[in-house]
Amino acid sequence: MTTPPTTKLNLDNIQGDILSGIPKKTELYYFFQILDTKKFRVQLGKLAPIIKTAAQVLHDRKCIEDHKKRGGHGLIQIVGVNVSFSHLGFQKLGINDSTLFGGNTNDPFSVGQLNDAVRNLGDPTKETPNGVVPDWEKEFLQPIHGLILIAGESHATTDKKLKEVEAIFGVGSKTPSVKKVKLIRGDVRPGKEHAHEHFGFLDGVSNPSVIGFDPILPGPAQVRPGILLTGQDGDPIQNREPWAVDGSFQVFRYLFQEVPEFHKYLRDNPLKFEDLTPEEGSELLGARMVGRWRSGAPIDVTPFKDDPKLAKDPQRNNDFKFKDQLNSQQRCPFAAHVRKTMPRDDLESLGISVESRRIARRGIQFGPEVTPSEKQEDKTQKERGLLFVCYQSSISNGFQFMQQSWANNANFPFGEQQPEVPGLDPLIGRGTPRKMSGLDPNDATRELTFPDFIIPRGGEYFFTPSIKALKETL
């Protein structure tokens, strides 16, 4: 691992979840409305000092490493708070936030996710007396002004911090300045599955590494800081107002996963390849849908057999680019989740950079493990899924583009040049029919159709401002 050069970023001014993610086993998502603007702005001054910065996250991570090196068992006590605001939130605060979207009123941040979900993301919708809205939980159909994240190592620590935060805003008193719209708790999964999402695949493997901040590793090129941070080199909007610098746009998606149904689908459609058993054929199908094995090993490197050792090796687990595979789905289907969301040489070899599309994924699972009764009936009975969060300096370049123009676009990549139309991203792609080619290594033209395994039930777009902005502007 090469040591990163000394960063020029002011890590004391950047909220901690953006660059490397607040370390966590559990996380509270507190969605709120501002009731009393004047009071709220005064009280925000008391929240600012307890916000975890990027510098403090680096310190926390070092403490965790040292604790492990000393052979320490269990976790050290760590908790971190971050705060973000929606466009409606800035409006409520009386702050002109047009510097955030360059005055473009079609920008997803200014439009809000409630509208964007219907117009561009392809979320399921429903008719209401007020028109067509996404088929989301009712709380997410209300205006949401902000999101407070509280991440930590235990429920006790995060619950205590939540009380502290609520006390700052007078929640529980007769005149609170905020109203809780929704509180969701996320937890990493138990035991060996702790870093895996609910379908069972290792998550959080490939995130952009930032020039001057992260170590240089083999694989996709590093990104300029301005791909994640406003006002830095690579930010598509120039000359932002000073308060809008060192922030990041935070996308939240409340994604429910139909886990028993996903596993039944794999069991019912095992790939027949060489001498694989039906179980191995199902494993291969799952790996080809995701683009990685459950262990996290990329199928572009190890296409027909899992290699858990490779998965654990940060020098190798991102060192692939679909090179020499541009016309071929043999090693990895075009529409596999990781190829759709990060096409690497599919675009770069054509001279199209993927840098501006990169997002930093943070987020956590919610809901219990699959119960024996759910397993027996192959049917979801309890709510579970992913509290998806990602950061970027432009939602229209990052998350929105990825969802709308890649995952939901059956022709991406290579739809017109190839005999096989790639199809939709089998995890998050929305549209009808939900199908893709390239899953069967013996016959790339064979298309498999699948039901929805991931259902969006809420979300919003936020901006996570700098510490200076929290103290001086908001």
Binding site for ligand HEM (CB under 6 A): 197, 199, 201-206, 253, 255, 257, 290, 292, 337-338, 341-342, 359, 361, 385-386, 388, 399, 402-403, 407, 427-428, 454
Q: How far is the CB of 301 from ligand HEM (least distance, A)?
A: 12
Q: How far is the CB of 336 from ligand HEM (least distance, A)?
A: 10
Which residue's CB is nearer to ligand HEM, number 44 or number 121?
121
Q: How far is the CB of 459 from ligand HEM (least distance, A)?
A: 10
Q: Give the C-alpha separation, 472 to 474, whole Å.
A: 6
| b/e 388-423 (16+ beta carbons within 10 angstroms → b) | bbbbbbbbbbbbbbbbbebbbbbebbbeeebebbbb
**325 and 299 Cβ atoms separated by less than 8 Å:** no
Pick the catalytic residue from 17, 203, 235, 440: 203
Which residue's CB is nearer to ligand HEM, number 243 or number 399?
399
Which residue's CB is nearer to ligand HEM, number 189 or number 337?
337
What's the per-residue H, E or C state across the chain? Answer: CECCCCCCCCCCCCEHHHHCCCCCCEEEEEEEEECCHHHHHHHHHHHHHHECEHHHHHHHHHHHHHHHHCCCCCCCCCEEEEEEECHHHHHHHCCCCHHHCCCCCCCHHHHCHHHHHHHHHCCCEEEECCEEEECCCHHHHCCCCEEEEEEECCHHHHHHHHHHHHHHCCCCCCCCCEEEEEEEEEECCCHHHCCECCCCCECCCCCCCECCCCCECCCCCCECHHHCCCCCCCCCCCCCCHHHCCCEEEEEEEEEECHHHHHHHHHHCCCCCCCCCHHHHHHHHHHHHHCECCCCCECCCCCCCCCHHHHCCCCCCCCCCCCCCCCCCCCCCCCCHHHHHCCCHHHHCCCCCCHHHCCEEEEEEECCCCCHHHHHHCCCCCCCEEEEEEEECCCCCCHHHHHHHHHCCCCCCCCCCCCCCCECCCCCCCCCCCEECCCCCCCCCCCEECCCCEEEEEEEEEEECCHHHHHHCC
Q: How far is the CB of 367 from ligand HEM (least distance, A)?
A: 11
Which residue's CB is nearer to ligand HEM, number 49 or number 451?
451
Q: How far is the CB of 186 from ligand HEM (least distance, A)?
A: 12
Q: Give the C-alpha separation, 348 to 414, whole Å.
A: 13
Which residue's CB is nearer to ligand HEM, number 35 or number 217?
217
Q: How far is the CB of 77 from ligand HEM (least distance, A)?
A: 27
Which residue's CB is nearer to ligand HEM, number 177 or number 250?
250
Strands 26-34, 178-187: pairing kind: antiparallel
Which residue's CB is nearer to ligand HEM, number 338 or number 448?
338
Q: How far is the CB of 419 from ligand HEM (least distance, A)?
A: 25
Q: Is residue 203 among the annotated active site residues?
A: yes
For residue 227, which phi and psi values (nearest 5 degrees)? -75, -30
- Write the single-letter amino acid at 209: S
Which residue's CB is nearer to ligand HEM, number 231 or number 333?
333
Which residue's CB is nearer to ligand HEM, number 32 or number 199?
199
Q: Give the C-alpha separation, 303 to 339, whole Å.
A: 14
Q: How far is the CB of 135 from ligand HEM (least distance, A)?
A: 17
Residue 425 vs residues 269, 337, 395: alpha-carbon distances, Å = 17, 5, 19
Q: How far is the CB of 201 from ligand HEM (least distance, A)?
A: 4
Which residues are tagged catalytic?
Answer: 203
